[in-house]
Structure 1
Amino acid sequence: MSVKILIADDHPLFRAAMCHALASVEHIELVETSTFPDTLTSLEENDDIDLLFLDLTMPGNEGLNGLAEVHALYPDVLVVVITAQEEPDVMAKSFALGASGFIPKSASVDCIIDAVNTVLDGETWIPASVHNASATMPNTTASNANGHSGQDDFTTRLKQLTPHQLKVLRMVSDGLLNKQIAYELAISESTVKQHVSAVLRKLGVINRTKAGIAFKNAMHV
């Protein structure tokens, strides 16, 4: 049985290196994209993609926005974050948003192959260098000691949002009014109000200002 993998990264040399690294893995088919909009298009056109390697800094992807959107639209697609940013906080947020793995761009070929096999086996893959750093491990509360527990809880709650609610929240965080959001999404203002109410309830915040600020903080890397 073949596995289809989408490599989403804007650097041709890195995509080529990824393809070379994965060449030894049997029964895989590779697809490549260089921008986040193209990545969404590819996911829509290829409903049999099993695994997505997602660069956090490719064009059209601001911080962790792309990861949150992919998880909301395609919850069955396994996502492995690939990034030059190796900070524990970025890893923790990525896992809270549903990533199945986190690969620094400095990783070796063996690490990449190990990550693919581990994630396809239904397990979470974390670089060996951070296995003992519990703050970066999924499903842990060790971040309490670092003062990030509240933000981590918020990031986890984002997974409850529907794709439409996530879009509305993103626009709220950009300062758009309900009327402007309704125009941009071609929906009624009352529908926008319903989405905003649902977002506030699911995220456990009291108003749209707090929701927007918390979202910006959660997506920042």
Structure 2
Amino acid sequence: MTTVLLVDDQALLRMGLRMVIDAEPDLDVVGEASDGAVAVDQVAALAPDVVLMDIRMPGMDGIEATRLLAQDHPSTRVLVLTTFDVDEYAFAALRAGASGFLVKSARPEELVDAIRTVATGSSVVAPRVVRRMLDLFAAHLPSGAAAPPSGAVSPALRALTPRELDVLRCVAEGLSNAEIAERLVLSMTTVKTHVGNMLAKLGLRDRVQAVILAYECGLTGR
């Protein structure tokens, strides 16, 4: 059973989400919150597997709540709810530690599939979408460390082997494991191993964060 906490300042929306989620035999809504501060308290008390997090709420917004949850409750995954598929605030939530984002107009089956995917430790944001968000909002957000000189490797990435660095570049381009295997002439099992090692060495939760780090380190050729 995957447990879910709903966080949105609109009671009607929470009711609709609860109806959709509780209709699934493997999903269970264990609580609700109308703002970020209450959400943080609820996670501490209930330890849900997944939080469906609205962004724009009175008091503590979803971005700050996501940052606190990623810091203090890393086993709880945050799935951001956003009105638009490319939203500056949604991108900020990904930077804060969210595992992905879902548009509020998504179909019920997309919602429950996204919750299940996030609960397994994966991301529901396609890397290509993350890259589009990065390109769109890079000029308005902190850029992180300056890009290294051509041919050099950022200090943040020096723990990686050359092959793991190649895999990170491919992930940053939005390639799937199958596409990475084809490009680098590797087996799928080897690619999965390299991706796992790369994430572990860099202390990243998922591929979304890998794309963001690659972008900030100048690995994507922005």
TM-score, normalization by structure 2: 0.56
For 2:32, give the aligned amino acid: E
Shift of 1:8: 0.8
1:110 is aligned to: 109
CA distance 1:34–1:133, change in 2 (3 Å): closer
| Cα pair distance change 1:136/1:26, threshold 3 Å | farther
Contact 1:56 1:66 in 2 (8 A): no
SS in 1 for 2:110: helix
SS of the equivalent of 1:133 reads helix
1: CA distance, partners of 2:85 / 2:144: 21
Residue 90 of structure 2: aligned partner: 91
CA distance in structure 2 between the aligned counterparts of 1:153 and 1:66, rounded to whole angstroms: 22
Kindly state the Cα deviation for residue 82 of structure 1 after the two structures are TM-superposed. 0.8
Q: Shift of the alpha carbon at 1:22?
A: 1.0
1:76 maps to a residue whose letter is S
Q: Does 1:15 align with 2:6?
A: no
Contact 1:88 1:136 in 2 (8 A): no
Unpaired runs of at least 5, structure 2: 146-222
Q: Does 1:153 align with 2:113?
A: no
Uncovered stretches (5+) of structure 1, i.e. residues with no partner: 155-221
Partner SS, residue 144 of structure 2:
helix
Structure 1 length-normalised TM: 0.56
Instruction: Note the C-alpha offset of 1:76.
Output: 1.6
Task: Give 1:54's aligned residue.
Answer: 53
Contact 2:55 2:62 in 1 (8 A): yes
Of all paired residues, the percent bearing the same amino acid is: 22
Pairs aligned (count): 144
Structure 1 residues 136 and 20: CA distance shift in structure 2, 3 A: farther
Q: Counterparts of 1:92 and 1:136 in 2: how far apart (Å)?
A: 10
C-alpha change, 1:25 and 1:63, in structure 2 (3 Å) is: closer
Q: How does 1:6-45 map to 2 (within 5 A)?
A: 6-30=5-29, 31-45=31-45
